[in-house]
Amino acid sequence: MVKISLKTLKNQAQKEIEKVKDLKELNEIFKKYLGKQGRLTQILRSLKDLPEKERKKEGRLANQIKREMDEAINLKKSKIQYPISNIQDEWLDITAPGKKLALGHLHPLTLVRRKIEEIFQNMGFSVVEGPEIESEWYNFDALNIPKDHPARDMWDTLWLKDPKLLMRAHTSPVQIRYIEKNQPPIKILVPGRVFRHEATDARHEINFYQVEGLMIGDRGKVSAANFKAVIEDFFSKFFGKKITTRLRPGYFPFVEPGFEIDISCFICGGKGCPTCKNSGWIETMGAGMVHPSVLKNSGLNPKFFQGFAFGMGMDRLAMMKYKINDIRLFYSGDLRFLQQF
């Protein structure tokens, strides 16, 4: 009885599936045969009353018919959803080349960041990061920037509703956080995003990227000469040619003495050109020997330890490397700009 019913059921279902014209009708057929109260479902439930030998035999047949119905319904569904046009009426050139898939492009700042990290890691520096929302202590106090310092003015710093929190104005706070938890010798590189309340123009943005470096060791073992060697090696590898640096006196609250770093123009080789304003030199970064007060605030005794720190704009390095004349292009989202890289 079951066997006849199964075969009859299969034939009936196939005929009804072939006649279906829309998904609503197809769904009704599914419920009719395979739903919770469907005909095939009822037959499968009744198999438990058959003798074991017959139950196994009829069970295999019922499950096979169930799979065939499922496949037939799914096939019909795909034909309704994605009808195939009559290919005989169309001409297809199988020799025509296919369309190339559009590939994404790494952002120039990403390329520059990876290159910087690679160079310094090869020199033994570890790459570390820190929070972009900072406290007043780490952003200013610990870095020897007193409360009456101009950098605290509202036109430079983006303060949050909590008067003790702000968007970090530089990556230097990470130096303090790292020193607090690690003992010298220390060699770290800190790339990251910073925020300043500045007027936006071709050379300034409210949000931009910096990269910070710090090296601390026993007193007398880390000097300005070490810094000069490290930074010259970096610039030569970054620009792919021999670069000479010069150090000029500069003031930064968290270093003493402080330096302004110029590099020999990588365009003219120091002979003078429009890029370097015919001086042969390009200003690139600020640096210096870590101020004793900063070491004390970090928990180190300046009698036993000393080191150097430096900071530079990653956007500026990208502008120099790729000859980009407007910093705003990095944040424009213009694919025509990005596709060049």
| Number of separate helices (H) and strands (E) present in the chain | 11, 10
Whole-angstrom distance, CA of residue 117 vs CA of residue 120: 5
- Which amino acid is located at 73 in the chain? I
CATH number at residue 135: 3.30.930.10
Q: Considering the domain boundaries, does residue 99 fall inside one? A: no
Do 203 and 330 share a domain, yes or no? yes
Q: Report the residue count for the chain.
A: 341
The two structure tokens encoding residue 249: 């006196």
Asked if 112 contacts 318 with a C-beta cutoff of 8 angstroms, the reply is: yes
- Looking only at the bridges linking them, the beta strands covering 281-290 and 305-313 are antiparallel
Identify the segments of the chain with pLDDT beneath 70: 1-4, 83-90, 154-155
Neighbouring residues of 304: CB distance < 8 A, sequence distance ≥ 6: 218, 219
Q: Pick from 56, 89, 122: which residue ends a domain?
A: 89
Counting the structural domains of the chain, the total is 2
Q: Considering the domain boundaries, does residue 323 fall inside one? A: yes
Do 74 and 215 share a domain, yes or no? no
Q: Considering the domain boundaries, does residue 94 fall inside one? A: no
Q: What is the pLDDT of residue 191?
A: 96
Of the residues 96, 155, 225, 336, only one is catalytic, namely: 155
Do 230 and 167 share a domain, yes or no? yes
Q: Considering the domain boundaries, does residue 298 fall inside one? A: yes
- 306 catalytic per annotation: no
Buried b / exposed e across 118-149, counting CB within 10 Å, b at 16+?
A: ebbeeeebeebebeeebbbebbbebbbbeeee
- 255 catalytic per annotation: yes
Q: Considering the domain boundaries, does residue 9 fall inside one? A: yes
Residue from 249, 248, 243 nearest 265 by CA: 243
- 168 catalytic per annotation: no
Q: What is the pLDDT of residue 1?
A: 44
Residue from 120, 112, 117 nearest 227 by CA: 120
Distances (CA, A) of 149 to 82, 140, 141, 144, 178: 69, 9, 10, 10, 24
Asked if 185 contacts 217 with a C-beta cutoff of 8 angstroms, the reply is: yes
- 210 catalytic per annotation: yes
Residue ranges making up the domain that contains 19: 2-89
Of the residues 255, 287, 290, 318, only one is catalytic, namely: 255
Do 61 and 206 share a domain, yes or no? no
Asked if 260 contacts 298 with a C-beta cutoff of 8 angstroms, the reply is: no
Distances (CA, A) of 10 to 29, 33, 66, 193: 12, 9, 9, 67
Asked if 158 contacts 165 with a C-beta cutoff of 8 angstroms, the reply is: no
Q: Considering the domain boundaries, does residue 235 fall inside one? A: yes
Whole-angstrom distance, CA of residue 171 vs CA of residue 193: 8
Q: What is the pLDDT of residue 40?
A: 81
Angle of helix 52-81 versus helix 2-19 axis, rounded to 10 = 0
Neighbouring residues of 336: CB distance < 8 A, sequence distance ≥ 6: none
The dihedral over CA atoms of 134, 140, 142, 143, expressed in degrees to the nearest 10, equals 120
Do 140 and 198 share a domain, yes or no? yes
Q: Considering the domain boundaries, does residue 185 fall inside one? A: yes
Q: Pick from 55, 89, 123: which residue ends a domain?
A: 89
Whole-angstrom distance, CA of residue 254 vs CA of residue 214: 12
Whole-angstrom distance, CA of residue 305 vs CA of residue 31: 80
Do 220 and 247 share a domain, yes or no? yes
Q: Considering the domain boundaries, does residue 103 fall inside one? A: no
Q: What is the pLDDT of residue 4?
A: 52
- Looking only at the bridges linking them, the beta strands covering 165-167 and 133-135 are antiparallel
Whole-angstrom distance, CA of residue 136 vs CA of residue 163: 8
Q: What is the pLDDT of residue 88?
A: 56
Of the residues 196, 230, 290, 318, only one is catalytic, namely: 196
Do 164 and 39 share a domain, yes or no? no
Whole-angstrom distance, CA of residue 270 vs CA of residue 253: 31
- Looking only at the bridges linking them, the beta strands covering 255-264 and 245-249 are antiparallel
Of the residues 170, 177, 291, 316, only one is catalytic, namely: 170
Of the residues 62, 210, 290, 294, only one is catalytic, namely: 210
